[in-house]
Amino acid sequence: MQPGQKQNHAHSDIKSSLRGPAYAQLATLIKHKISTGEYAQGGRIPSESSIGKAYGVAIMTVRQAIRLLTEQGILRRVHGSGTFVCGPDWTRASFNMEGLLELLSDKDNLDIRILNAGIVEASPKAADALGLAEGDMIISLVRLVSYKGLPFLLNKARLIFDPKSPIVESELEASSLSGLFSGQGNSFIKKALLKLEPCLLSSSEAERLKSSQTSPAFKIRYTFYGYTDLPVGSGWFLTPTGFMAFTTRIGVWDDDEE
């Protein structure tokens, strides 16, 4: 195939496609060249003018595509040297909890039972997490979640004592758990800090989850912040490892592989 024919074909791939703006299509084509090794990791890609001529697009379109891939960590610009292909960056890996969310979203097979709820004095640890003074009143809530009759999630929540607060109303509703994980229906939460740690179950936790005390488990500690940037709730979710797995992808994946 002659070079001119290849350029027309690439030009056609962008201009005739209905898969979004030209720069996004160009970014996909560049990413494909990286995934096939045509643009090698650590290597420099062609200049913006060369890419523009090859695909029949304006320099601005090329720059938008490169900016997009740079924001995704696929390319990096080096002033005075050009644009280079990044290798997989392990520090950019982020994990999701979709498997856990799927269970919490299956309302027909889900049972959420409140084991304990009340107004108590904040312990030193709870007071520190919520930005309160030790002894201030807080709402304490313990819930057990079962899927198809099998308990799999134990939740302990501590909330600022404010009966009019929307987070208090939400936390007291059994349906709020899936919303907390999916980010739906909790517009009063501005941000959250999560910490995942492996642990072993205590005797009481193992009894509630019908699991062995020696079985490994995940504990997800959390703090929720309102739009005043002050804590409004904290606590943890505890689940045996068999109910939750974490996966992520790093590096360059073609769209049909994702």
**pLDDT tens figures, 111-131:** 888 899 889 999 999 999 999
pLDDT exceeds 90 at position 72: no
Give the per-residue SS3 of the chain. CCHHHHHHHHHHHHHCCCCCCHHHHHHHHHHHHHHCCCCCCCCECCCHHHHHHHHCCCHHHHHHHHHHHHHCCCEEEECCCEEEECCCCHHHCCCCCHHHHHHHHCHHHEEEEEEEEEEEECCHHHHHHHCCCCCCEEEEEEEEEEECCEEEEEEEEEEECCCCCHHHHHHCCCCHHHHHHHCCCCCCCCEEEEEEEEEECCHHHHHHCCCCCCCEEEEEEEEEECCCCCEEEEEEEEEEHHHCCCCCCCCCCCHHHC
pTM: 0.61
Instruction: Please give the pLDDT value at position 124.
Output: 94
Boundaries of every domain in the chain: 3-89, 98-243
- Overall fold of domain 98-243: Chorismate lyase (3.40.1410)
- Overall fold of domain 3-89: Arc Repressor Mutant, subunit A (1.10.10)
**pLDDT tens figures, 210-242:** 998 888 899 989 898 888 888 988 999 999 887
